Structure 1
Amino acid sequence: MPQSEADTALSAMLRPRSVAVIGASEDASRIGGRPIAAMLERGFQGAILPVNPKRDRVQGLPAFASVAELPETPDVAIIAVPPALAEPALRDLGARGTRAAILFTAGYAEMGAAGAEAQARLLGIAREHGMRLLGPNSLGLLNAANGFYGTFTSSLERGYPTPGPIGIASQSGAYGMHLFSMARDWGLGLSCSITTGNEADLTVGDFIAWMAEDPQTEVIAAYSEGIRDGTRFLAAVELARRNRKPVVMMKVGRSALGRAAAQSHTASLAGDDAVTDAVLAEHGVVRARTTDELLDIARLATRRIYPVGNTLGVLTVSGGAGVLVSDAAEAVGLPMPPMPEAAQAALRADLPFCAPQNPVDCTAQVLNDLSLVSRFGEAMLGEGGYRSALLFFTHAGGAPSITPRLREQLRALRGRYPDRLLVLSALADPPQLRQFEEDGFTVFADPSRAVVAIHAMGRFGDAFADAPPPVLPEVPALPLPATTPSEAEAKRLLAAAGIATAPERVCADAGAAAEAAQALGFPVVMKILSPDILHKSEIGGVLLNVADAAAAREGFALLMRRAAEAAPQARLEGVLVAKQLSGGVECILGINRDPVFGPVAVFGLGGIFVEVLRDVALRRCPFGEAEAEAMIRSIRGAPLLLGARGRPPADIAALAQMLSRLSVLAHRAGPGLAAIDLNPVFAMPAGEGAFAADAVIEIAEHAS
């Protein structure tokens, strides 16, 4: 695909032919001196143009008094001056036609309203000149392949990275370079490392998109405190998914305290964490909980084996390790099906005291007969058919008397099954570990960490597998009312979208209520009807089990009195009389507009399941009925819908249709829609449908 203007600017930023350093310093330990020193040391081939009005030379290079005096227009400029000087420098660079700028300068949106205004001015200058910005408040970036070090990180004092396939994009500068330093210390090969800071312009998502097209980057590791532009971010991770480039991400701010810290640190919008979890999973991004986990997954991903329908077979010399691995696999949801019975029998015939179920324990006998490794491994991969295998050899794997022969057995296994993900857990010295790695095996000391990484490879494989596009139901675009409607009006809108509700009537007086109740059939539910009273039960505005006409008359008067006492300013439209449903499973369906990702659908069972256990499924809108059914079946309480303990199974198809239609309605409604709450929805027995008994549609405050 042709490069966009943004792609071109990002390429200029990471592969520049010339770089100006505004605020260049002779002192290689200062912020304005570190990039120059690093580029000189690593042999950067482009032109380095120091700008310093007080010096003729900087670190042996000719220096220039101003941007105007530069002998050429730099592809990128590093701005390492205070805020008062950064703005005119950016303007001068724009006038020269510089395409990109890296702003080390801090003191902008992270400092409050005045800083946000100054940051907006910087962005305005850049936009005026068609320039792209990294930062401000950025620690910069580096490209290990070409020796471009546009960063002032002190981590380079401990060494430079080996060029390789892993790219890092981080919103946080210090933590991004913490990731970089750990990756370098682990010996991981890096293509680039980028820190985006305040993201006045360019975001982590923009650099994920760039790395998704970068031939030097095969694996993308990201750290984010808040996703600023959900649309751009999702387009980026979708591009990576289509290009079969795994994205592993630490998205921090899970806790309320963490979200508050993210706001103060980079002025980011953290969004709801449960929504973020669901959306990342939907788009094939694996979310890492810790730094070690992120790097474990990135390291294993460089093998570029992403099993679809992943299953784990375990070959071990320790029964205890087998139990540990089984626990870890169950915790992450990685299937470990048992070996076929015939294969188990054959292994017992080979070694009567082995335990061949899975984990397959070949015992310490392997020390006497290393051919057991290939024979048992062949059975696991050939007859067991496992897509991944974890081979646990503990300290025996590093014993000088064993390692050479073990490598022979493992290389033979690797050669026969090049498409399988084979991982070792062993303790060995660095030279031996390198030998195993060169043979095509990633080695983990901790088998539990290996399991998490193996599970991630399967998630990538499933995400990369071609899937048919969702089939969306036909739902008309419905004009939203200017303000939040009453329940009756909300249900009329939902009915137009094909969402079924319980039979009901709007009644303006007691006589009409009695007549409606008689026509609908007892018992009925009676509810106060007002666009100003959305949560009716809180004021006693709902009456259940109304059993006759007289009770309906009395109920009307009671509801009107309670409403007048609890909400005297509320507009009252009368009382809603509805057929009281029974015999179904109560569910909750809803829509919430996430500030980052837009409308998100929620499904769960009613009562304790949602209020206490928070057993819900989330998915970004819109989606089809197949995706809706997968959501319904994914909750822990799904057996109650599927016929647990002799209950009749619920009408899952009707529920999925309602949920899918709701998602399309929300997507088409646009930002004027704040929320929809259908609670309860009665999922009747199979073939009898699903009906919303109550409905609230909230209009966003700015919509009017």
Structure 2
Amino acid sequence: MSRTEPAADLAALVRPGAVAIIGASADPTRIGGRPIAYMRRAGFQGAILPVNPNRAEVQGLPCSASVAALPQVPDVAVIAVPGAAALQAVEELGARGTRFAVMFTAGYAEIGEAGAEAQAALVAAARRHGMRLLGPNCLGLFNAATGFYPIFSASLEGGLPLPGRIGIASQSGAYGTHLFAACRNREIGTAMLITTGNEADLAVADAIGWMVQDDGIDVIMAYAEGIQDGPAFAGALAEARRARKPVIVMKVGRSAVGSAAAQSHTASIAGNDAVFSAVLAEHGAIRARSTEELIDIAYAATRRIYPVPNSLGVITISGGAGVLISDAAEAAGLPMPPMPEEAQRRLKAILPIASPLNPVDCTAQAFNDLSLIGRFTEAMIAEGGYASILAFFTQIGGAPSMAPAIRAQLNAVKARHPDRLYALSVLASAERNRDYEADGYLLYEDPARAVIALDAMGRLGASFSESPPVPPPAGAPVRLPDANPSEAEAKRLLAAAGIATVPEAACADEAAAVAAAESFGFPVVMKILSPDILHKTEIGGVLLDIGDADAVRRGTATLIGRAARHAPSARIDGVLVARQIKGGVECILGIQRDPVFGPVAMVGLGGVFVEVMRDVVFRRCPFGEDVAEAMIRAIKAAPLLTGARGRPPCDIAALARMLSRLSVFAVQAGPRLASIDLNPVFALPEGAFAADAVIEVGEGRSVGVSRPAATP
């Protein structure tokens, strides 16, 4: 059962008044000793309560022999003891009223079936007492604002987090702390880290949901190996978009090998990677392809400027760098429109050797006249109207003889246009970089990285400013048959939901087939009719261009004979005779039941486009016709539908109507629906018609996982 309640209230987890360390160590380098050492070093003001039956004192703090002996009830307990002792600790802490347990202990679902059973016992014990679990097999968390560090990562030996407003939610503890440390090394502040490990209870979705509510966090970085509760994850992303808080996600497990590794590491369901990307896009979250990109985009988002519509204006002292930036912008899809012709003429008059198009190249002449930087940049914004500005100044941006004047020129422009997003590609000292950043500029040594980050800010802005989608149409409950229906039965079910199909008739014998063909008019299409033969073309079960009554009779015998040879055990209900449609564009519409996110719709062009190029678009069901049309127009080969090369445009509205109704049908059919395949669907200048339909019925397992109540 999927979680539907609000995001978990993690206030007591991240801002406790007292924390117990079960398995506390006097050695500050051991797993049970590091949290104590870190919290004391960071000045945590709450009570730190070590528990160890063999010690009266740990790291200068009084130590209790047991949970029962604790002088007060801790809000949070860190459990750093193995196996049976961990289960006992959960029972004892729950009985005392502890609200959260951070489970360092490993050896649970990540190691196999026996571990999964032990993990289930942990969860059951916690639920009996209304206690929430973080982990097991997690590295912990930190809240830099309060000095709370129930975590055992060695990354903190290199220094505590810098002040900042980025939160990190990570399934992997090692990768989550790697992100924090990488940010610290780039002098980017991270306010909070929550690692979730095996996610027996609390998950990345809960961490994101809490960070959305936290006024100290503006930007959320997330790392996931697999999502167990798809609706909860999608809900957290939706909450983030409503709050205008960017979520930048690193999701691993794209490959078969990577997916298997994710399964063994966190016992997660990997799901379909393309579906995961579609869910992120649906909610305006950004998917990062690398650690560097993840940090670059999060760093840019801390400026909280999300330009809509986004366009890139480039000022450079290097023509080569301008070409590099232009290539990167084209690859990212970030528009770089040229400067207005009058502005180009004016800039040419100022500097005849300049290239004023965009990129605007003020050349090395800037060495002699630094005012060119200010004048050209002002022209780009005031006359070019660009929302994002990228300046490539390389070493001169850091040169002591030039940097102060460059900074003054840029700041004067920025003061007149504070709503634009500014990035610099310079090579400068750490001190000089801090000055630029204090002025509000994003800094990237590689200008191509800057382009990717600036493009992401525009995509975030477009998402934040989107109007709510049109609600999906209402749908009646769908009663699926006990087994896979035949094509004719599938089409009857779909027709009841308003999905148009090619006119056809199910025929039990030759005479009925001839009568149907004559009623439709020749030529017709003939197909074998069997609920057991889903992919008819693989056995030669489809005949085209049947031109007369004799051909219908021969075709009937041919189809039944082929079915008998290739699928001797299949039930044969006869043949299907359908009107043959000419012209139009062949499309494919489909539904797949994703194990994580439930029914997902797919649309693409048929033939080579789906089989070889895989030019398809996905979306979670259900959705309205506006979303369906946007999906269709997002297909790379969409110009074939809209009238490319003199073709008549197809009826996009009819195709969108069919896709929307199919998405509603998928939800109304419930969890027993495994898949639907409409291929081909003929998109005509007027109307769209499904020529083939396959519905597969499954076992009916619901998506999501059963979770305890959100508030303990």
1:538 deviates by: 1.1
User: Whole-Å Cα distance in 1 between the matches of residues 700 and 391 of structure 2?
Assistant: 59
1:154 pairs with 2:154: yes
Aligned position for 2:285: 285
1:691 to 681, 689, 692: 689
1:647 deviates by: 1.4
Show the 5 A alignment for 1:438-477. Answer: 438-477=438-477
- Number of residue pairs matched by the alignment: 699
Code of the residue aligned with 2:73 in structure 1: it is T
Code of the residue aligned with 2:229 in structure 1: it is D
Aligned position for 1:88: 88
1:415 pairs with 2:421: no
User: Whole-Å Cα distance in 2 between the matches of residues 8 and 243 of structure 1?
Assistant: 17
User: Whole-Å Cα distance in 2 between the matches of residues 522 and 474 of structure 1?
Assistant: 38
Aligned position for 1:66: 66
Aligned position for 1:347: 347
1:472 deviates by: 2.1
User: Whole-Å Cα distance in 1 between the matches of residues 239 and 651 of structure 2?
Assistant: 37
Q: Is the 8 A contact 2:166 2:218 kept in 1?
A: yes
- Percentage of pairs with the same residue: 67
Q: Is the 8 A contact 2:671 2:700 kept in 1?
A: no
User: Whole-Å Cα distance in 2 between the matches of residues 473 and 39 of structure 1?
Assistant: 54
Aligned position for 1:429: 429
Aligned position for 1:25: 25
1:163 deviates by: 2.4
Aligned position for 1:394: 394
1:656 pairs with 2:656: yes
Worse-matched range after superposition: 591-600 or 69-78: 591-600
Aligned position for 2:191: 191
1:333-375 residue CA offsets vs partner (Å, 9 max, x unmatched): 1111111111111111111111111111111111111111121
SS at match of 1:424: strand
SS at match of 1:67: coil
Aligned position for 1:526: 526
Counterparts in 2 of 1:281 and 1:204: CA distance versus 1, 3 Å: same
Aligned position for 1:515: 515
1:6 deviates by: 7.8
Aligned position for 1:40: 40
Aligned position for 1:573: 573
User: Whole-Å Cα distance in 1 between the matches of residues 439 and 275 of structure 2?
Assistant: 41
Code of the residue aligned with 1:475 in structure 2: it is G
Code of the residue aligned with 2:339 in structure 1: it is M
1:377 pairs with 2:377: yes
Code of the residue aligned with 1:697 in structure 2: it is I
Code of the residue aligned with 1:701 in structure 2: it is E
1:257 deviates by: 1.0
User: Whole-Å Cα distance in 2 between the matches of residues 87 and 674 of structure 1?
Assistant: 39
Aligned position for 1:217: 217
1:617 deviates by: 1.1
1:541 deviates by: 1.2
1:489-511 residue CA offsets vs partner (Å, 9 max, x unmatched): 11011111111111101111111
User: Whole-Å Cα distance in 2 between the matches of residues 568 and 7 of structure 1?
Assistant: 54
Q: Is the 8 A contact 1:499 1:658 kept in 2?
A: yes
1:454 deviates by: 0.5
User: Whole-Å Cα distance in 1 between the matches of residues 265 and 390 of structure 2?
Assistant: 41
Code of the residue aligned with 1:308 in structure 2: it is V
1:525 deviates by: 0.8
Q: Is the 8 A contact 1:26 1:59 kept in 2?
A: yes
Counterparts in 2 of 1:92 and 1:9: CA distance versus 1, 3 Å: farther
User: Whole-Å Cα distance in 2 between the matches of residues 201 and 239 of structure 1?
Assistant: 20
Q: Is the 8 A contact 2:681 2:691 kept in 1?
A: yes
Aligned position for 2:173: 173
Show the 5 A alignment for 1:606-645. Answer: 606-645=606-645
User: Whole-Å Cα distance in 2 between the matches of residues 34 and 227 of structure 1?
Assistant: 30
1:466 deviates by: 4.2
User: Whole-Å Cα distance in 2 between the matches of residues 516 and 331 of structure 1?
Assistant: 53
Show the 5 A alignment for 1:252-401. Answer: 252-401=252-401
Aligned position for 1:119: 119
Worse-matched range after superposition: 194-203 or 564-573: 564-573
Aligned position for 1:491: 491
Give unpaired runs (5+ residues) of structure 2: 703-712
SS at match of 1:27: coil
Q: Is the 8 A contact 2:223 2:249 kept in 1?
A: yes
Q: Is the 8 A contact 2:603 2:631 kept in 1?
A: yes
User: Whole-Å Cα distance in 2 between the matches of residues 576 and 172 of structure 1?
Assistant: 54
CA RMSD of aligned residues (A): 1.4
Counterparts in 2 of 1:607 and 1:466: CA distance versus 1, 3 Å: closer
User: Whole-Å Cα distance in 2 between the matches of residues 664 and 9 of structure 1?
Assistant: 33
Give unpaired runs (5+ residues) of structure 1: none
User: Whole-Å Cα distance in 2 between the matches of residues 83 and 543 of structure 1?
Assistant: 64
Aligned position for 2:15: 15
Code of the residue aligned with 2:291 in structure 1: it is T
SS at match of 2:669: helix
User: Whole-Å Cα distance in 1 between the matches of residues 107 and 474 of structure 2?
Assistant: 50
SS at match of 1:445: coil
Q: Which has the higher contact order (CA 8 A, sep 6+)?
A: 2
User: Whole-Å Cα distance in 2 between the matches of residues 71 and 372 of structure 1?
Assistant: 70
1:657 deviates by: 1.0
Q: Is the 8 A contact 1:9 1:99 kept in 2?
A: no
User: Whole-Å Cα distance in 2 between the matches of residues 574 and 309 of structure 1?
Assistant: 57
1:384-438 residue CA offsets vs partner (Å, 9 max, x unmatched): 1111010110100000000111111111111111111011110000010000001
Q: Is the 8 A contact 1:482 1:703 kept in 2?
A: no
Code of the residue aligned with 1:291 in structure 2: it is T
User: Whole-Å Cα distance in 1 between the matches of residues 378 and 108 of structure 2?
Assistant: 60
SS at match of 1:527: strand
Worse-matched range after superposition: 325-334 or 638-647: 638-647
User: Whole-Å Cα distance in 2 between the matches of residues 169 and 472 of structure 1?
Assistant: 32
1:461-513 residue CA offsets vs partner (Å, 9 max, x unmatched): 11111413324234333222222111001101111111111110111111111
Worse-matched range after superposition: 466-475 or 170-179: 466-475
Q: Is the 8 A contact 2:7 2:236 kept in 1?
A: no
1:85 deviates by: 0.5
1:194 deviates by: 1.3
User: Whole-Å Cα distance in 2 between the matches of residues 493 and 619 of structure 1?
Assistant: 22
Worse-matched range after superposition: 554-563 or 164-173: 554-563
Q: Is the 8 A contact 1:228 1:268 kept in 2?
A: yes
Code of the residue aligned with 1:304 in structure 2: it is R
1:701 pairs with 2:699: yes
Aligned position for 2:707: none
SS at match of 1:201: coil
Code of the residue aligned with 2:696 in structure 1: it is E
SS at match of 1:315: strand
Q: Is the 8 A contact 2:94 2:131 kept in 1?
A: yes
Q: Is the 8 A contact 1:9 1:100 kept in 2?
A: no
1:542 deviates by: 1.1
Counterparts in 2 of 1:446 and 1:258: CA distance versus 1, 3 Å: same
Aligned position for 2:585: 585
Q: Is the 8 A contact 1:583 1:684 kept in 2?
A: yes
SS at match of 1:151: coil
1:565 deviates by: 2.2
Q: Is the 8 A contact 1:395 1:428 kept in 2?
A: yes
